[in-house]
Structure 1
C-alpha cells in the first residue's frame, strides 16, 4: 500500500518542537521525506496501523494535524517532480 503523510505540528513552544521532532522521526522510520512535512510511504496494512497509532500518541489533537492519504499502487512511481526534488527508491528496502 502507498501513503502520502503530511503534518502540521504547532512548534512555537518547546513542547511543540519536541512533538514535531517525534512526528518526523516516526515518519522517517516508515518512508521517505519528500518535503519538509511530507512523506511518501510504502507499507503493509499492519505497518499502517502501527504508523497511525504512533502518530496518534505523538501529537496534541487540539493543535496538531496529521493527514494520511492512501494512494493507488504505482502512484508514487508515477509522481512528477518539478524543481529540486527527491526521487526516493520506494521499491528498495528502507534501511534505518
Structure 2
C-alpha cells in the first residue's frame, strides 16, 4: 500500500523538538522524505499498523497532529512534480 504521511509537531518546548526528531526518524525508517514534514511510504498492512502504533506513542495528542493518507497503488509513480523536487526510488532498496 502507498501512504502519504504529514505531521505537525508543536516545537515550542524542548520536549516538542525531541518528539519532532523522533517522528521524523521513524518516518525516515519507513519511506522517503519528499518535503520537510511529508513522507511517501510503501508498506504492507502489517507494517502500517506497526508504524501507526509507533507514531501514536511518540506524539502528544493534545498538541501534535499526524495525517496518514492511504493512496491508490501507483499514485507515487504518476505524481507530477513542480519546482525543485526529485522522484524518490520507491521500488528500490531503502538504505538507512
Tell me if TM exceeds 0.5.
yes
1:45-64 C-alpha deviation (Å, 9 max, x unpaired): 11101110010000000000
Whichever structure has more helix as a proportion of its residues is 1
Note the residue ranges of structure 2 that are not aligned, 5 or more in a row: none
- Provide runs of 4+ in structure 1 moved above 6 Å: none
Q: Equivalent residues in 2 for 1:1-80 (5 A)?
A: 1-80=1-80
Note the residue ranges of structure 1 that are not aligned, 5 or more in a row: none
- Secondary structure in structure 2 of the residue aligned to 1:26: helix
Q: CA RMSD for the aligned pairs?
A: 0.5
- TM norm structure 2: 0.98
- TM norm structure 1: 0.98
* Structure 1 residue 95, shift from structure 2 partner: 1.4
Equivalenced residues, count: 96
